[in-house]
A = this chain, B = another copy of it.
Amino acid sequence: MSPRIDALQYANWSEKIFRQMRAGGVDAVHVTITYHENFRETVLNIERWNRWFERHPDLIFQGYTADDIELARATGRTAIFFGSQNPSCIEDDIGLIEVLHRLGLRFMQLTYNNQSLLASGCYEAEDTGLTRMGLEVVAEMNRVGMVIDMSHSGERSTLDAIAHSARPIAITHANSASWHPALRNKSDRVLRALAESGGILGFSVYPHHLRGGGDCTLVDFCTMVARTADLMGVDHIGIGTDLCQDQPDSVVDWMRAGRWTKARDYGEGSADNPGFPPMPDWFHDNRDFGTIEQGLRAVGFSAADVAAVMGGNWARFFAQSFGALETAQQEAAQ
């Protein structure tokens, strides 16, 4: 049996949520530990996680390699893999990539909505693609084994990252733009290029990424997954819910506006709908992964393909991605 893996959550963490992970049989979760936080602030967030790991060793532990997925299954726990949704944690310092990888950071988005030092976010009017520093950072992330995540990046930057990265990249949490044309969803062109390069997409259930928002039906969502499987191949898709469980709306304000504006930025929301949107009735928390699994079966996925989508594909991607490039190349040569 394949593991069950969620490639993106940013919840207001608590013992309740860690127990729901166990109840939902979730073996590994890529959690966002930082957005706009600088290096020192990111380390403070790691310290918070260290306290959760110390307090709940029966429920969770920090994952560093793909082997930790198996360890989680064998010991009935959930492996927590760290990621960042913006490169603020490396500030302007390429040397921090290796340091953060050692501390367990396994994913880093090159941008979060706006222009970064590395590339352009999906809310910018213009998209440079990778900058001078972006080209250097992609090579360094490749070298140490940190996954390039382009979930919040612009189209050109995303295609550029796919083209320049020596290793497959990820879009951990987004859906198909041809299904629901949100700025955060991805065009068929991007999805095809992602798959052709060996990359992977995690499907999001965050309402702003769903056709009809929180009213999106499970059948509609799973049919979109099936169509995207036709486009990309079933080996290049997984789940990345973007679950922001129990977060107060002040958190979505921070995610959107950080420290870059004195005004309020509504991001995917609007003045009428500024907060976290209500979730679809078929996905509220980690106990609902079985519902998605049933939904995928209902639209015609085979049992093997459901297993691949629910975690098998991410497990393979983690195994390819988290080690040093040299090691990965040696293994490939054997």
A120 to B130, CA, bound (A): 12
* 16 contacting pairs across A/B (C-beta < 8 A): A38-B38, A88-B92, A92-B258, A92-B259, A93-B259, A93-B260, A114-B117, A114-B131, A114-B133, A115-B117, A116-B117, A123-B132, A125-B132, A126-B128, A126-B131, A136-B263
B115 touches A133 (CB 8 A): yes
Look across to chain B and name the residue whose beta carbon is closest to the beta carbon of A160: B126
Look across to chain B and name the residue whose beta carbon is closest to the beta carbon of A123: B132
A129 to B91, CA, bound (A): 22
A262 to B140, CA, bound (A): 9
State the copy count for this chain.
2
A129 to B126, CA, bound (A): 8
Cβ contacts under 8 Å, A127 to chain B: 128
B133 touches A260 (CB 8 A): yes
Cβ contacts under 8 Å, A94 to chain B: 259-262
- Interface size bucket, A side? 20 to 34
Whether a CB of chain B sits under 8 angstroms from the CB of A36 is: yes
> Known contacts being A133-B260, A136-B261, is A115 close to B92, with CB within 8 Å?
no
> Known contacts being A140-B262, A260-B133, A262-B140, is A92 close to B36, with CB within 8 Å?
yes
A128 to B119, CA, bound (A): 11
B132 touches A124 (CB 8 A): yes
Cβ contacts under 8 Å, A120 to chain B: 128
Secondary structure class of chain A's binding surface, majority of residues: loop
User: Shortest distance in angstroms between A260's beta carbon and chain B's nearest beta carbon?
Assistant: 4
Cβ contacts under 8 Å, A128 to chain B: 115, 120, 124-128
A38 touches B126 (CB 8 A): no
Contact digits for A236-268, partner B, Cβ 8 Å, 1 yes 0 no: 000000000000000000000011111100000
Look across to chain B and name the residue whose beta carbon is closest to the beta carbon of A139: B262
Candidates B131, B258, B261; contact of A124 at CB < 8 Å? B131
- 6 pairs of A and B residues whose beta carbons are closest in the complex: A115-B131, A93-B259, A126-B128, A133-B260, A136-B261, A114-B132
Cβ contacts under 8 Å, A133 to chain B: 114-115, 260-261
A129 to B88, CA, bound (A): 21
Cβ contacts under 8 Å, A117 to chain B: 114-117, 260
A92 touches B131 (CB 8 A): no
Whether a CB of chain B sits under 8 angstroms from the CB of A269 is: no
Whether a CB of chain B sits under 8 angstroms from the CB of A277 is: no
A259 touches B136 (CB 8 A): no
* 13 further interface pairs, Cβ-Cβ under 8 Å (given A36-B92, A123-B132): A92-B258, A93-B260, A95-B259, A95-B262, A115-B131, A116-B117, A117-B117, A124-B128, A126-B128, A126-B129, A127-B128, A133-B260, A136-B260
